[in-house]
Structure 1
Amino acid sequence: MSRLQPSTAQPGSRRKAAGPSARRRMLLVVGILGLASAGLVARAFDLQVVRKQFYQDQGDARFLRVMPIAVSRGTIFDRNGEPLAVSTPMVSISCVPSEVLDNADRIPALAQALGTNTDDLKSYLEQRADRDFAYLRRQMSPDAAQAVLALGVPGVNGQREYKRYYPSGEVTAHVLGFTNIDDHGQEGLELAFDNWLAGKPGAKRVIRDRMGRIVEDVEQVHAPQPGQNLTLSIDRRIQFLAYSELKKQLQDLDADSGEMVVLDIRTGEILAMVSLPTYNPNVVTGSAPAARRNRTVTDVVEPGSTMKPFTMAAGLSSGKYTPTSPLVDTGNGHWMFMGKDIRDVESGGNGLLTPTGVLTKSSNIGAAKISLSLDTGFVYDTYRAFGFGESTGSGFPGESAGFLRPGRSWRPIEKATMAYGYGLNVTPLQLAVAYATLADGGMMHSPTFIKGGGEAGKQVVSPTIARELVDMLETVTAPGGSATRAQIPNYIVAGKTGTAHLAAGGGYAKNNYNSLFAGIVPATDPRLVGVVVVNNPKKNAYYGGVVSAPIFPLVMTGALRLLDIPPDNIGRWYVGGPLQAGGGLAGTAPPQNTQDDQSAVEAVEP
């Protein structure tokens, strides 16, 4: 066929061979878009209806946080309702370190508001850049914290906390102790009653934005339970008297330390407890650990002559002795026993003494001879009955039990020296409890720091013997006794001085002493016991009758007045014994010991 010959093909056959028409292409596109739209609708329905809760929970999990609800620690009051420890609201500043670093230009202003150095703050943040939380400053005052938060630095937040404040400062420091930055008790009664005072923090769920700010409180997980209040037996007024008078005496005598305890003998309630040196519990940082130790319960001393009434208690209880007989020969003040010279300080000796005279003149020889005449087990049991060698049960953290060796191990020389206070150790609180037992007719009460917390006591010696001993101790503060400086105008005082060499290097230091006084007032109807210990006075004097006894009336005069305890010695002074009235008008100074206090008050040889 000629190439010029017309084709016989139909006119539409070439268009069919060229592919789908525009209309078909349009339908295809519309179909695809329709399918995609349907898929999107289905996916949206799945996300927003079918699995809505799942994705909402996932989103919340990224911004939902459980935050603690700070709770106030219980207030500690003294026996009269005066606050001794309170919790004040504070604000702690925290941050998300990476958020703050992302706004580095804001760091200088933040550092200034926090009271820190810009470089130090930046370094601190960089070290914690991978964390979601870091404290910038703990326990700022609300005003100072608000100044920080007002800067609006991304990632910086505030959280309420509480800080403990002690209005009486160092005066009650050793009794109360202190809390740490998380408001947990660390020492003293804050530690002993931490569970009672602390309460239980609450918790709540909150939603935070990407800058860490709380934008919504979702729910309370559990409610906070505030700490319970605590009312102590301590009388803040008597505590201050004891603190100020003891502190002054320590300064005047350049003493290392000192302690004083005041007890209500009928209940065992502790009205005052002071230990020096002390510290400020509001600013614990930087204080010496030794200054934070409550020496009245943790430290022990050899009691010296303050032990003699309990040796005498054994003598009277045995039936071999009465307050006036038999006579004890103390000779010329020197008695060689098992190679040891047991001495009395009285120049020329005391000769024959009644058991009462042994206490009045504080005769080491007399006490030793009485003890040696008794069964060893009986003497040991008597000491134990008065609480020596075991804890008082006060519950104070770190309380020492003192030291008293079992009687079966005593050698005769140890039995003799323990009679006048060497070879055993006691705490000032133990000594106060023992004297309170004598004062309350032989009834021992466990000491307590809680008002109304006293328990029924136990009878450890007969009321008759206890009364006899108190009467015998009245002569110690009368003229001729070793503690005339403990007298209180218009009140009869019973008590005993003590002076003991300090232990050192396996023996005793020659010129270092502990000076003690334990007193009962009013002696005819006992209400209060006070024990004073001055450790290592280095100026002017060291005898208990000169160093510790004078503190007793300065404190107890105020305590008697504050507690409205009536006088029992109006218009007279003791001069010879518990039944003999002497001269002197009410409120006038008592007759003074005419003997030299430094040479006649008591024996101190170990």
Structure 2
Amino acid sequence: MNRVEKNRIIFVFTCFCLFFLLVLGKAFKVQLIDSSDLIVRANSQFLREVTVYPKRGNIYDRMGHPLALNVQTYSIFAIPKTADYKLDIYKKLSKIIPELSYKEMVSTIKKRKRFTWLGRKLRLTKDQVEEVKELRGIFIEGTPERVYPNHELLSQVIGFVGLDNKGLSGLEYMFDKELKGNPVTLKYTIDNKGRPIKFESHQSVTAQAKDINLTIDKDIQSMAEKYLKEAVLKHNADKGGVGVIDASTGEILAIANYPSFDPNDVRGSNPEDRKLSFAIEPFEPGSTFKAFTVGSALENKVAKLESTYYAEQGRMRVDNHWIKEAETHEKFEWISVADILRFSSNVGTTKIAFDLKFPRFKQTIKELNFGNKTGIEVPGESRGIFTEADNVTPLSLSNISFGQGIAVTGVQMLAAYAAIANGGTYIRPTLIKRDPNVVTVSELEPENENQLQKRHTVFSKKTTDDLTKALTAAVEKGTGKAAQIPHFQIAGKTATAQRVDRNGGYKGYVAGFVGYPVNVDNRFVIVVYIDNPKTGGYYGGAVAGPVFKNLAEYILYKNKDISRLAEHEDNDYDLKKVKTNIDIVQVKESSTRSLTPGIVPNMMGLDKITTSNIGTKLNLQMLHKGMGVVSSQFPAAGTPVTEDTVVKLEYTPPTYE
């Protein structure tokens, strides 16, 4: 082999090596460097997918009554690029489902080439679903739609979802992740002309949607909203709020604002009405705050209930300002701490605060969580407004002592008064029923571990007993007489707070009442406020007090406390008198009863359990309507019973004359 041939072989070999290296480099680039991008581009050419969320978790009250449910609806979509089989298919679809306009569908698909919704959350019959499935190129997917069966009931707490079932407000928003679970992914493959050749649904089951059980009692919630609405309308007020808390557990039994809205028709509602102002809009509490000033003084042994202060005959000068009583005709001189609460003396409360000093007063206020979020499961909860300064001017201390210069939420007041009602323990309020036997959502992440601790002691039992005694006197002999309930001791405090306007001044009033029954097994606290009442008065006792009374009466009846009252031999009332009074309530319009076979008995004033027992004993056919005690019956008592006799009983909540 000569030199020339040898060089040719080397040249050809070198060329092959370079070419091989070039191919190898290209393969390296394609398979390693550009692989991710190329896979995405490849999939985009023949794979399509869309995400649809599965059945959302339900929301129930403490007794298992549904508050938010799902109903089966259907969503229909098409791939406009596959419309080469003409538009007749859309005409057929519009005949099957009249709600889908042929013209609107054609107008829509002409603007789109890819996946296009033709109808969302349609309620179809089984026959319609089957007919749609037979249409070539039209796809249908079952889609759960959120429904709120009780309409306005608890709507500001529950919130609502959007078209894609994503929570947009309230608990629906706060616990959206838990309620919606994992999404359903709809995947389909297309050919080189964009036509779908394979369609499938895939469901991940690693994280199913969860239900939520609330602490709310649906019946109490309903009555709370009813009485609140009546008061707001009666007094031509801007709005109002009400809340009920179990003092021993911190569970919220009812919470509402009026006006409200129907989450089934969000578009037709006012955005302002969708907010739970009770937790997110602070207000100056006024005289209801005086209980904490007195409580702090008692706890720090600065004063006793029998301690007396000179009330300056109704006027006291502080920092060149006059502190006056709410009622200008009040000319108190020497007045006890108990009577300061009883008659709601601003001057007396100021004197107590001056003896107490701000640092100790502030410590009590912070322990009651004013100025911090309570941790209740409400998006956007407010901290309220309270100074972080170590000390304040005498005028500021005076104002804060009787509920001005500080802003609180209704939830904060509920939790703080619950600490008085339960013997001194502050318990973080909650809307989520945390029963170990019930699947619940995860705990909130606390912003501050100390701030959101579940419970801690604020007052001693002696302090809360003294406060309860003084607050009871405020209802029985003071400003809260309108909240009295026969047979029950009620501890409570009224407020007629000046209302802060948008310009920073004061205009109008916020009428408030906070209270709880004393002589019951399980104490509950009710907070009521009516914002800017314009007719029928504006004092807390006259405007908010009746709402408390009506709601408390209902709860006491529902809990059967009126029946238990006579069983306690250690109560402060004359037992014989109480039993007689209970009979007056239960045996309305009748003084005697007889159970004679063959004769319709007198059922008036009896509850459903008692009437059912009587019906069983006398073998009567009975028809029950409503709840409460019997307010009317047919046929009348004394009527002979025949084989066709049906005793019809109508029940209504009891009233106390």
TM-score between the two structures when normalised by the length of structure 2: 0.73
Structure 2 residue aligned with 1:502: 499
Write the letter of the residue equivalent to 2:209. G
Pairwise CA distance, 1:201: 2.5
Residues 20-79 of structure 1, C-alpha deviations (whole Å, 9 max, x = no match): xxxxxxxxxxxxxxxxxxxxxxxxxxxxxxxxxxxxxxx999877656575211111111
Residue in structure 1 matched with residue 608 of structure 2 by the alignment: none
User: Corresponding residue for 2:121?
Assistant: 139
Structure 1 range deviating more: 182-191 or 151-160: 151-160
Find the partner of 1:395 among 371, 377, 381. Answer: 377
Matches within 5 A, 1:335-350: 335-344=316-325, 345=327, 347-350=329-332
Contact 1:493 1:521 in 2 (8 A): yes
Mapped to 2, the partners of 1:387 and 1:412 lie a distance apart of: 23
Q: What code does the residue aligned with 2:79 have? A: V
CA distance in 2, matches of 1:534, 1:506: 21
Q: Secondary structure at the match of 1:227?
A: coil
SS of equivalent residue, structure 2 residue 76: strand
Shift of 1:279: 0.8
Query: Quick one: structure 1 residues 492 and 570, their matched pair in 2 at CA, closer, same or farther if it must change by over 3 Å?
Result: farther
Residues 549-602 of structure 1: CA deviation (Å, up to 9, x unaligned): 110121122222223445686699xxxxx979899973689xxxxxxxxxxxxx
**Matched position secondary structure for 1:429:** helix
User: Root-mean-square deviation (CA), in Å?
Assistant: 3.2
Contact 1:334–1:342 (CA<8 Å) still a contact in 2?
Answer: yes
Task: Check the 8 A contact 1:520/1:526 in 2, yes or no.
Answer: no
**CA displacement, residues 235-293 of structure 1 (integer Å, 9 cap, x when unaligned):** 00000000111011111111111111100011100000111111111121232210111
Q: Give, in whole Å, the separation in 2 of the partners of 1:411 and 1:179.
A: 48
- State which of 305, 316, 331 in structure 1 corresponds to 2:312: 331
Residue 275 (structure 2) aligns with = 293
Confirm or deny that 1:410 pairs with 2:392.
yes
1:123 aligns with one of 95, 103, 107? 107
1:540 is matched with 536
Compared CA separation, residues 524 and 244, structure 1 to 2 (3 A): closer
* Structure 2 residue corresponding to 1:177, chosen from 139, 154, 159: 159
The verdict on how the C-alpha distance between 1:569 and 1:373 changes in structure 2, with shifts beyond 3 A counting, is: farther
Compute the displacement of 1:522 (Å): 3.0
Select which of 87, 95, 103 maps to 2:86: 103
Distance 1:469 1:503 in 2: 29
Who is 1:422 aligned against? Answer: 404
Alignment correspondent of 1:29: none
Paired position in structure 2 for 1:491: 488
In structure 2, relative to structure 1, the CA distance for the partners of 1:416 and 1:568 (3 Å cut) is: farther
- State the shift of 1:124 in Å: 1.8
Contact conserved, 1:149 with 1:158, CA < 8 A, in 2? no
Which of 48, 51, 55 in structure 2 is aligned with 1:72? 55
Query: Do residues 250 (structure 1) and 232 (structure 2) align?
Result: yes
Q: Which residue of structure 1 aligns with residue 471 of structure 2?
A: 473
Larger Rg: 1
Are 2:91 and 1:91 equivalent residues in the alignment?
A: no
| Unaligned residue ranges in structure 2 (runs of 5+) | 1-41, 436-442, 444-452, 586-657
- Report the equivalent of 2:26: none
* The one of 556, 561, 579 aligned to 2:557: 561
Paired residue secondary structure (2:295): helix
State the TM-score, normalized to the length of structure 1: 0.79
Aligned length: 521
Q: Distance in 2 between matches of 1:419 and 1:222?
A: 57
Partner residue of 2:581? 586
Which deviates more from structure 2 when the two are superposed, residues 558-567 or residues 397-406?
558-567
SS in structure 2 at match of 1:532: strand
Deviations 1:206-225 (A, max 9, x none): 668999778775x8574475
Sort the Cα spacing of 1:539 and 1:213 in 2 relative to 1 into closer, same or farther, 3 A. farther
Highest RCO, 1 vs 2 (Cα 8 Å, sep ≥ 6):
1
Q: Decide whether aligned partners of structure 1 residues 66 and 580 sit closer, same or farther in structure 2, where only a CA change above 3 A counts.
A: closer
> Which aligned pairs between 1:20-419 and structure 2 lie closer than 5 A?
70-100=53-83, 103-108=86-91, 110-111=93-94, 113=97, 115=99, 117-128=101-112, 130-131=113-114, 133-143=115-125, 146=128, 149-150=131-132, 153-203=135-185, 220=202, 222-223=204-205, 225-325=207-307, 327-344=308-325, 345=327, 347-419=329-401
Seen in structure 2, the aligned counterparts of structure 1 residues 508 and 111 have a Cα distance that, compared at 3 Å, is same
Distance of 1:68 and 1:106 partners within structure 2? 25
Partner secondary structure for residue 520 of structure 1: strand
In structure 2, how many angstroms separate the alpha carbons of the residues matched to 1:470 and 1:67?
Answer: 61
Deviations 1:141-163, CA, capped at 9 Å, x for gaps: 13299269549554322111111
For the structure 1 residues 424 and 385, does the alpha-carbon distance in structure 2 shift closer, same or farther, using more than 3 Å as the test?
A: same
